[in-house]
Structure 1
Amino acid sequence: MIRTVRRTLAGAALAALAVGMVAAANPASAQTPTTGLRAACSVAGPGEARCLAEYRSTGRMQRNAVHADATPDGFGAKDLRAAYGLPAKGGTGTVAIVDAYGYPTAEKDLAIYRKQYGLPACTVKSGCLRIVNQRGKTSPLPEPDSGWGVESALDLQMASAACPSCKLLLVQGDDASLDALGTSVDTAVKLGASVVSNSYGTDEFNGMADYAHYYTHKGVPITVSSGDDGFVAAAFPAVLPATIAVGGTSLKKAKNARGWKESAWSGAGSGCSAYLDKPSWQKDRNCSMRTVADVSAVADPDTGVAVYDTYELGEDAGWLVVGGTSAASPFVAGVIALAGHPSTVTPKRLYGEPKAFHDAVGGSNGYCGGDYLCTGVKGYDGPTGLGTPKGITPFQ
């Protein structure tokens, strides 16, 4: 239930505590950016959302490298599939990506990425890739925007990495308004999306009830990035109980049985809602309201993912290293589609299978006295939720 007037004392107090304690602890020091790191999108205005991708260029020598011995910086598709134990085959559904504005080089850039990592071609002509406006039409597409172009490139390529055989549907909102983005989600579902990824957000607000219907579609999982500002106010639309809120980790190679290790990324969004009642399936003890996040995946831009984007980035055009929970949401959406049973995947079901995830332990996204709401602890925690995909097991 969305409470637009009265908040429970505990939930409101914890939400206020999250903002106040993080500010007092100087969150910027906990989220020191990599040199040259840029936010793809500027701060959102009232009634708008901001895309959450953060990127840096990788140098002129790599920008046009597309051959067998080229090694772009950042984790590639093969790295990610190895890190999360994903099977080589599977997934026949459609992963929908919802973003704002146009991205004219989407098909060309996607082709470069997929060729680089040995993924099958996915083109408009073959029907594998569809690009439409928020009304579901292929023309006219919205006015282009280079910042949201980075976001769209990241989203398409992370979904490709997780599920190479899935079809892709890019729905472009007319702008970054909550109405345009929400309408785009509805359009994605109407066009047959198996799962819909949303890598944008804004702070939760009084009046979310007016937009919640866009993100409630029975039988179609909706993944949403949890945010990149650490332990602060919960982010909308990730905070909605109908969505799967995807937090972020720092992923690194390791000399262990898995070959990889993960901890909470310092920028991963987490928080205790000030407006939304706690869902019956969420049992964490120190937040009486809805807690973000639910699950997580790679997000740290310090060790980010490789993305190819050439749309109006000037000297930065080509191979980028990109991070943010914007990487995690489309990747998890792709894994859900890869598992082959998206219509059965709900937040409630995921909480019934906590041992099916890699537990990300260590790291923090702010100050909360070491509490799980901002610290990567054993079991559930705010920054990483239940954990990261352990193969397709959590979503079968």
Structure 2
Amino acid sequence: MSTRKRATRAGALTLAIASAFTLAASSAASTVTSAGIQGSGKAVHVHPMTWGSRDAANLPTPLPTSQCLTQLGINCYSPLQYRSAYDLNPLYQAGITGKGKTILIVDSYGSPTIQSDLEVFDKQWGLPDTTVDVRKFGNVPAFDPNDSTMVSWAEETTLDVEYAHAIAPGAKIVLAETAVAETEGVTGLPEMMDAEKSLIDAGVPDVISQSFGATEDTFPGFDQHDFSSLTNLRYAYKDAAAHHVTVLASSGDNGVTSQTLDGNGFFPYPANSWPSADPLVTSIGGTYPAIDDTGKRLAPDVTGNDNDLLFPGGVVGGGGQSHVFKRPDYQDGVKAVVGAQRGTPDISFSATLSGAAWVYFSFTRPGWHLIAGTSESCPIMSGVVALADQVAGHRLGTINPALYQLGRLSANPKLGKFTGLQDVTVGDISDHDVTGPAAGPGYDMATGWGTIDGAYFVPALAFAASTHGD
């Protein structure tokens, strides 16, 4: 396709969305230090969301979905299948690749082999090569393959980088590796927020992908309704909003509850995680998409554990009410669902091991592996936002007001298609003997507004965020 035809097609997509929403309108930084948290005598555990999933397989070459079903008993998906299932190929054909935009990925420790692993990943799927811009913050320790925590973060880093790049192949990838000391009271969150703020102030990222979280209820002072140890960490997100940077976070993989302070159990009642629950952050939940070898959808997405064959009893996402943050203005239209508190997630993508993603890494057990969880859905969404940034021609900033505007319009029988939102109405996120929200028509705290048809959603988000404002 010629450059002129690609540009014309991209313009037509944007114009179609703009026309639809014009019609709709006419018809209707403070800082906190590690020492500050140490003073409570508690250690808040920040962890990669891959901890809520499981790593399966270790093969010299990836298998197609049909063979995974017969040999492993689960679905397995490639980035090319996701690009098809989320209808992103028309955008790539129109020259929308995230070119000129930067995705910042933040992970403790990082991976010592991320560049060479990404090159193997790209060659396998015919993706363009890119150089990962690694920025180290603090004295990042040397990788120890016998350290399970380091291995978990390296797996997380691999998943984040490979899938952000796969969805937005033209975008620049910056990886912030932070040094997290595993001593009592040091959480790693101040280091992550410092790294983000530093890069935001330097003008580096357009969108930030965060596949990590810590349970709100475990922060010091929570039992006394003193949330300052958490809210004092928000300076990076306030800075992002001021610089029109979009911030995303995984909603978690433990349903409506989350991990206890020792990291070995779960609260026996609903508990949310931060930063997913932050009103300045877009919370990315999880679904199970049924996709064939070519990337064709075989059925609408669902959530919950009904289809999770490898990980029985575990759900594919997280959500519910925040115990810290009140309902933000953009959720006023769904107050019947979220009540007086911030509700999560906002939108969802593939996250279940019944449809796990192929990744390649070589820092230990070299080969192709299957990993899932909302650690997967968040970098996918970061790529989608980079595409929308390119369509808009500028950063979209805090996208939640625009996303909820699209959600309201998605119920309109004449205009709903143009929002690109696809409702998820089956499943719930009950888990660990705690009853959770169920998916249903419209917004819910199981999958948010559902998932997307990217050919419509990307230009719709670009238009809505550009006209709605922050």
**Does the TM-score normalized on the shorter chain lie above 0.5?**
yes
Partners of 2:296 and 2:167 in 1: how far apart?
21
- Counterparts of 2:336 and 2:429, CA distance in 1: 19
Identify if the C-alpha distance between structure 1 residues 104 and 367 changes in structure 2 by more than 3 Å, giving closer, same or farther: closer
- Aligned in 2, Cα 1:234/1:177: closer, same or farther, shift over 3 Å? same
Match of 1:122 among 130, 133, 136: 130
CA contact (8 A) 1:102 1:143 kept: no
2:44 counterpart of 1:47: yes
Q: CA RMSD in A?
A: 2.8
CA, structure 1 residues 198+387, in 2 after alignment: closer, same or farther (shift >3 Å)?
same
Match of 1:285 among 333, 336, 347: 336
After superposition, the C-alpha distances for 1:84-118 in whole angstroms (9 at most, x for unaligned) are 11122311201110000131100001111111111
Evaluate the alpha carbon distance shift between residue 231 and residue 151 of structure 1 in structure 2; reply closer, same or farther with a 3 A threshold.
same
Gap change, CA 1:318 and 1:280, over 3 Å in 2: same
Distance in structure 2 (CA, Å) of the matches to 1:278 and 1:376: 20
Which of residues 218, 224, 230 is equivalent to 2:255?
230
Q: In 1, distance between residues paired with 2:125 and 2:375?
A: 20
The alignment status of 1:298 with 2:350, answered yes or no, reads yes
Closer, same or farther: CA 61–103 of 1 in aligned 2, 3 Å: closer
Q: Are residues 329 and 188 of structure 1, via their aligned partners in 2, closer, same or farther at CA, if it must alter by over 3 Å?
A: farther
- Secondary structure at the counterpart of residue 289 of structure 2: strand
Q: What are the superposed Cα offsets for residues 90-149 of structure 1, whole Å, 9 maximum, x if unpaired?
A: 1120111000013110000111111111110112xxxxx2001126xxxx6543322100
Tell me which residue corresponds to 1:215. Answer: 237
| Whole-angstrom CA distance in 1 between matches of 2:124 and 2:233 | 39
Please name the residue that 1:131 is paired with: 134
2:105 to 77, 92, 97: 97
Cα distance in 2 between the residues matched to 1:260 and 1:117: 25
2:207 corresponds in structure 1 to 195
The alpha-carbon distance between structure 1 residues 113 and 260, as it changes in their structure 2 partners (threshold 3 A), is farther
* Distance in 2 separating the partners of 1:367 and 1:304: 20
Deviation at 1:257, TM superposition (A): 9.0
Q: Give the Cα–Cα distance (whole angstroms) in 1 for the partners of residues 122 and 461 of structure 2.
A: 24
The answer on whether the counterparts of 2:55 and 2:372 sit within 8 Å (CA) in structure 1 is no
Among 146, 150, 155, the alignment partner of 1:150 is 155
Change (3 A) 1:50 1:338: same
Structure 2 residue 407 is the aligned partner of structure 1 residue 358: no
Equivalenced residues, count: 333
Structure 1 unaligned segments of length 5 or more: list them.
1-44, 66-71, 124-128
Q: Which protein shows a greater Rg?
A: 2
- How far the C-alpha of 1:267 sits from its partner, in A, is 3.3
Q: TM-score, normalised by structure 2?
A: 0.66
Q: Which residue is 2:400 aligned to?
A: 347
Are residues 1:321 and 2:366 paired? no
Displacement of 1:384 in angstroms is 0.9
**Which aligned runs of 4 or more in structure 1 are off by greater than 3 angstroms?**
140-143, 254-260
Q: Which of 175, 192, 197 lines up with 1:181 in the alignment?
A: 192
> What residue identity is the alignment partner of 1:224?
A
> How do 1:159-174 residues align onto structure 2 when only pairs under 5 Å count?
159-174=164-179
The structure that is helix-richer by fraction is 2
1:61 Cα deviation (Å)? 4.2
Indicate the SS of the match to 1:55.
coil
Q: 1 CA distance for matches of 2:81 and 2:117?
A: 20
Q: Distance in 2 between matches of 1:293 and 1:181?
A: 22
